[in-house]
Homo-oligomer: A and B are copies of this chain.
Amino acid sequence: MPHPDAPDTPCVLIDLDKVERNMVRAQKHFDKLGIPLRPHIKTHKLPLFARNQMELGAIGITCQKVGEAEVMADAGLNDIMIPFNIIGPAKLERVKALSKRVKLTLCADSAETVAGYAQAFEKARDPINVLVECDTGAGRCGVQSPQGAVALARLITQHKGLHFAGLMSYPPQGRSEEALAWLRQAVETLSELGLKPEVVSMGGTPDMWLDWPSDLVTEYRPGTYVYMDRSQVAVGAASFEDCALTVLATVVSRPTDKRVIIDAGSKALTSDLLGQVGYGHIPEFPHAIITSLSEEHGIIELPSPSARPQIGAQIEIVPNHACPVSNLYDRVHLTRRGRLVDSVDVAARGKLS
């Protein structure tokens, strides 16, 4: 029982020493590169850690949802970028209200999104910053070519309520050169047109330790780095010693000498595999595999017959993906050197819209 003072299981434990070490290491790396950080709060969803990130030198934060941005604005964060196409009158009203409270930057990858922003900010006192989202190879959102980025930038400049502020991309993991060449081409053409981007925003924890070029990239938006997780260890971005978020579970059944059932299922760990074998890593039993999850049960197979872990034992699990785990808990528990020191509400949990 590593945490006798922990609340009932399953629960999330956050090791504050590791969080601080992860934050400092990242800030130092990007300080050295001369690139400001704009951390993505999707991972922790906590005003406390967003403020810590700002205190360490971040220039602002990134929120994926309007609802997350509202929570962070309420908590005093005042420079927020939303790297997501905001569609529809309800959300546009909300970002308009938000833009009066904080320095807000929006993103767009289509004429439709731009049209919505143009209408919402038509009568705004100050134009809203808009970045063009670029699909530099990840295959999610984004304009499909540097020419597409230029065309959309020109469209943005035609609306007086909008200010074309630059480019944003979530680059494909492991193919940063390709992404950078894409963006460099767009920046060159835009510069020739007198539209040199003020911002070229890149993101992603897996590739964050690369030597990003500060002559092109003006900010970096890592999210997971604050906690790290098993998938980041798998791609070499972290070690298990860096993983600050763990799920504490209790063994509730030992049906056989190789099968262990814990009280953490998909409602506690998520079903995210992210290419991993099993649903998390158990430092105390590194060769055990969490082979399947139902909602409330986790099934662990041991590599060989063993009486351990026994019923009632508590085990810590490093999840495959820390970010969606944060979203499952109303509250998380903060520890230092294995002792519970505080609990905090996950204020931006469950902000779907």
**A90 at the A/B interface (Cβ < 8 Å)?**
yes
Query: From residue 330 to 353 of chain A, which have CB atoms closer than 8 A to chain B?
Result: 330, 350, 352-353
CB closest chain-B residue, reference A293:
B272
Q: Indicate if the CB atoms of A141 and B84 lie closer than 8 Å.
A: no
In this complex, which of A87, A256, A297, A329 has the most chain B Cβ atoms within 10 angstroms of its Cβ?
A87
**Which one of A120-128, A175-183, A259-267 is at the interface?**
A259-267
Main secondary structure of the interface of A (DSSP, over half): loop
Give min CB distance, A261 to chain B, whole Å: 5
CB closest chain-B residue, reference A259:
B139
A329-B350 CB under 8 A given contacts A256-B144, A294-B140: yes
Interface residues of A (CB under 8 A from B): 7-11, 42, 64-65, 84-85, 87-88, 90-91, 109-110, 112-113, 133, 135, 139-144, 250-256, 259, 261, 263, 266-268, 270-273, 294-297, 299, 310-312, 323-324, 327-330, 350, 352-353
Q: Indicate if the CB atoms of B11 and A141 lie closer than 8 Å.
A: no
**Quick one: which of B64, B90, B135, B312 contacts A255, CB cutoff 8 A?**
B135
A-B contact pairs, 30 of them (CB 8 A): A8-B91, A8-B353, A10-B353, A11-B353, A42-B295, A84-B252, A85-B252, A87-B250, A87-B252, A87-B311, A110-B253, A110-B254, A112-B310, A112-B312, A113-B252, A139-B259, A140-B255, A140-B261, A140-B297, A141-B252, A141-B253, A141-B261, A266-B270, A267-B327, A267-B352, A270-B271, A271-B272, A271-B273, A329-B350, A330-B350
Assembly stoichiometry (copies): 2
A139-B299 CB under 8 A given contacts A263-B87, A311-B87: yes
